[in-house]
Structures are given as structure tokens and as C-alpha cells.
Amino acid sequence: MSAEDLENYETDMELALYREYRDVVGLFSYVVETERRFYLANHVDLQVRSAAGEVYFELSLADAWVWDVYRSARFVKSVRVVTFKDVNVEELAKTELDLGGGTGFPR
């Protein structure tokens, strides 16, 4: 396999991951970013903790999707993250579902 073949393979995997994200984002209520991962989730519990003078974050997610091109199963029942780095949690805006004569879900 050449370097170009490998680069094309990685590009195709990233594009497939983006398309999967686009298809599933409407199923979730929150976007969560940590220093290592990007998640979609329907339940988020973020706790600020301290031990030995250090502050850290304990994050619990339920019904989640993980942005990771190398995971074979991106849907997970629960996730627990402990980190000393920043955590960003955003609630997604829900658009109204068009049940009329539309051609499907908007992209």
C-alpha cells in the first residue's frame, strides 16, 4: 500500500464518519467536547471535583455516540470521563419535525 493509498483510505474513513455524524446528530440533545474525544449524548452529568488541591472534572454520559474514526461501535450506553482539562457541553437546538409532505429529514 502506498502513502497515497493510505492517505486516501484515511480521508474516506473521515468522510464516512462525518456523514454518520450528520445522520445521527438529530437523535441527541448534547454535544460534549473533551481534550481527547467528541461526543453526542442524551444525558450529561458534569461534576467538578477536587483532590489534593487539584481540580478535575468527572463527566458521565448516557446514550452516547463517540466521534472516533477507529472505533467499530460508536454508539455506547454509558461513558465516564475523568479529566483535568476543559470540558465543553452544549445543548443542541431541536428543530421541529416536518411530518407534512416533505421528502424526509433535512440534512
Summarised one tens digit per residue, pLDDT across range 36-50 is: 999 999 999 999 999
Residue 79 in grid coordinates: 461513558
Confidence of residue 7 (pLDDT cuts 50, 70, 90): confident
What's the distance, Cα to Cα, between the start and end of the chain in Å? 35
Residue with grid cell 472505533, as numbered in its chain: 71
66 within some domain: yes
Residue 8 in grid coordinates: 486516501
Query: What is the average pLDDT across 71-93?
Result: 94
What is the C-alpha radius of gyration for the chain, rounded to an integer number of angstroms?
17
85 within some domain: yes
pLDDT score recorded for residue 31? 96
Confidence of residue 97 (pLDDT cuts 50, 70, 90): very low
What are the phi and psi torsion angles at 33 (to 5°)? Answer: -120, 130
53 within some domain: yes
105 within some domain: no
81 within some domain: yes
| Residue (of 67, 57, 65, 66) closest to 88 by Cα position | 57
If one counts the domains in the chain, the total is 1
